[in-house]
């Protein structure tokens, strides 16, 4: 088993994790309300955080305050946000050497523009982001940006943009790629076609099956399990609604309690190792924020980010000679879950314009044969990488 290398966080950064996770769960709630309720989805709010944190580096005034407050950084200031993002980029992949995790950032700059020295330096130092000047009037630029997405997600997100605005000043991108094997893999011979109850009725889906010792807890809203990856510093937490409850109830409750807060700890009180009779679908889900009502721009405005989109009075002054604002922001994400483990990826793009003893172990049954909610997280830091809902549709 790979060596465990827990992430070291300052006291301030521990607060950032908890409060950025609150942004993550609020994001999931808004995405759930803005999507077709019957459809599965997968998103990485952490990827959105990275793009907005890069913008934040160049922001001033109300724009900086809104970004930091909404993302859960309060008024920590640009340097504290940058240091936090750098810590995760450099140290999350080291937690489990058998896992494949990449957090990549890029700046594609209109060749007519020039980045300010301090911004360029910060992007390299804290985000490992190199700036590349391109001709935004050329169709080749679309191919170059899409090639970057394809490469950084190992083919999971092969294309992000269909065109580039010749008047755009820059495109900022973040890509997260995650691939990990279950600590205890499922035996493919145990996978059987079984009935899965969707909102629209019943259908036959491949349900993977095993009996495994994992963390389990049940409350009045949902039952939850942690399925560990690799050396057990990463896990997928799956939450299955209790009788009379729905995935909407779970998502609303998580948005109210946060993750890692005292309210959340009370909610998960009694979590312990159970011998679980586990069934979960083998599935794939892909999502695009452009298919949400209002898109990602609208979702972020509902969460409290407004001024960054304001072309009349932009406060993003420290990126280029000209002030800029966000014209578009979009995320595509994808996940594949099978007997071996999980592979997931997300790309977020933003276009900027001017302006116990085994015998005593309790037992539980956890058959995810109806819609459920899940998060993928790292346990030493508490950081949530992906959030999703699987409905069978």
Backbone φ and ψ for 196, nearest 5 degrees, come out as -115, 125
Q: For all residues of the chain together, what is the average pLDDT?
A: 93
Within the chain, all domains assigned CATH 3.30.497.10 are found at 11-180+285-354
CA dihedral 80, 81, 84, 88 (to 10 degrees): -160
Which pairs from 182-188 meet CB under 8 Å and 24+ separation? 182/227, 182/228, 182/229, 182/340, 182/341, 182/342, 183/228, 183/229, 183/230, 183/231, 183/232, 184/210, 184/212, 185/339, 185/340, 185/341, 186/210, 186/338, 186/339, 187/339, 188/339
| Radius of gyration, CA atoms only, the chain | 21
Say if pTM beats, i.e. exceeds, 0.85.
Answer: yes
Band of pLDDT at residue 384, cut at 50, 70 and 90:
very high
Band of pLDDT at residue 68, cut at 50, 70 and 90:
very high
pLDDT tens by residue, 79-96: 999 999 999 999 999 999
Residue 85 corresponds to which tokens in the numbers above? 């993002």
Provide CATH code, domain 11-180+285-354: 3.30.497.10
CA dihedral 267, 270, 271, 274 (to 10 degrees): -140
pLDDT tens by residue, 341-372: 999 999 999 987 776 434 578 999 999 999 99
pLDDT tens by residue, 278-327: 999 999 999 999 999 999 999 999 999 999 998 887 888 998 888 888 88
Distance CA 143, CA 307 (A): 31
Residue 298 half-sphere exposure, CB side, CA atoms within 13 Å?
Answer: 12
pLDDT tens by residue, 287-297: 999 999 999 99
Mean pLDDT check: name the lowest of 32-46, 228-242, 307-321, 331-345: 307-321
pLDDT tens by residue, 196-233: 999 889 999 999 999 999 999 999 999 999 999 999 99
Band of pLDDT at residue 130, cut at 50, 70 and 90:
confident
Res 356: pLDDT: 40
pLDDT tens by residue, 163-206: 999 988 999 999 999 999 999 999 999 999 999 999 889 999 99
Provide the CATH topology of domain 182-282+358-390.
Answer: Alpha-1-antitrypsin; domain 1 (2.30.39)
Question: What distances in angstroms separate CA 193 from CA 43, 186, 287, 336, 353, one per listed residue?
Answer: 27, 15, 25, 18, 50
Residue pair 16/243 in contact (Cβ under 8 Å)? The answer is no
Res 2: pLDDT: 62
How many contiguous H segments (helices) and E segments (strands) does the chain have?
A: 9, 15
Q: What is the DSSP letter of 162?
A: S
Helix (H, G, I), strand (E, B), or coil: what is residue 115?
A: strand
Distance CA 388, CA 368 (A): 14
Helix (H, G, I), strand (E, B), or coil: what is residue 160?
A: coil
Average pLDDT over every residue of 131-154: 94
Could you tell me which residues come within 8 angstroms of residue 266 by beta carbon, excluding any fewer than 6 positions away?
none
End-to-end alpha-carbon separation of the chain, Å?
36
Band of pLDDT at residue 37, cut at 50, 70 and 90:
confident
Average pLDDT over every residue of 43-64: 94
Within the chain, all domains assigned CATH 2.30.39.10 are found at 182-282+358-390
């Amino acid at each position: 088993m790979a060596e465990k290398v827990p992430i070291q966080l300052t006291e301030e950064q521990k607060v950032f994790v908890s409060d950025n996770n609150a942004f993550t769960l609020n994001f999931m709630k808004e995405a759930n309300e803005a999507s077709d309720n019957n459809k599965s989805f997968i998103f990485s709010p952490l990827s959105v955080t990275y793009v907005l944190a890069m913008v934040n580096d160049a922001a001033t005034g109300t724009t900086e305050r809104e970004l930091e407050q909404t993302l859960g950084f309060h008024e920590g200031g640009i340097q504290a946000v940058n240091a936090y993002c750098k810590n995760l980029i450099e140290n999350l992949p080291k937690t489990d050497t058998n896992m494949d995790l990449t957090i990549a950032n890029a700046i594609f700059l209109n060749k007519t523009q020039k980045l300010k020295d301090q911004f360029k330096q910060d992007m390299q130092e804290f985000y490992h982001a190199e700036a590349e000047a391109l001709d935004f009037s050329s169709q080749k630029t679309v191919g170059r940006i899409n090639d970057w997405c394809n490469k950084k997600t190992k083919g999971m997100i092969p294309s992000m943009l269909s065109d580039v605005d010749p008047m755009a000043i820059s495109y900022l991108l973040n890509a997260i790629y995650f691939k990990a094997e279950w600590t205890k893999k499922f035996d493919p011979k145990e996978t059987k076609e079984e009935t899965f109850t969707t909102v629209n009725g019943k259908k036959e889906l491949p349900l993977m099956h095993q009996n495994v010792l994992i963390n389990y807890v049940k409350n009045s809203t949902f039952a939850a399990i942690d399925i560990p990856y690799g050396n057990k510093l990463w896990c997928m937490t799956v939450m299955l609604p209790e009788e009379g409850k729905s995935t909407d109830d779970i998502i609303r409750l998580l948005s109210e309690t946060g993750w890692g807060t005292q309210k959340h700890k009370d909610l998960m009180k009694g979590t312990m190792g159970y011998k679980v009779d586990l069934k979960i679908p083998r599935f794939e889900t892909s999502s695009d924020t452009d298919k949400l009502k209002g898109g990602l721009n609208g979702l972020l405005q509902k969460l409290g980010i407004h001024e960054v989109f304001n072309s009349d009075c932009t406060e993003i002054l420290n990126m280029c000679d000209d002030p800029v604002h966000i014209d578009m922001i979009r995320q595509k994400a994808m996940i594949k879950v099978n007997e071996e483990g999980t592979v997931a990826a997300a790309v977020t793009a933003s276009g900027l314009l001017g302006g116990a003893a085994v015998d005593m172990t309790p037992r539980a049954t956890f058959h995810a044969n109806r819609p459920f909610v899940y998060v993928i997280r790292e346990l030493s830091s508490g950081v949530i990488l992906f959030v999703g809902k699987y409905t069978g549709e």
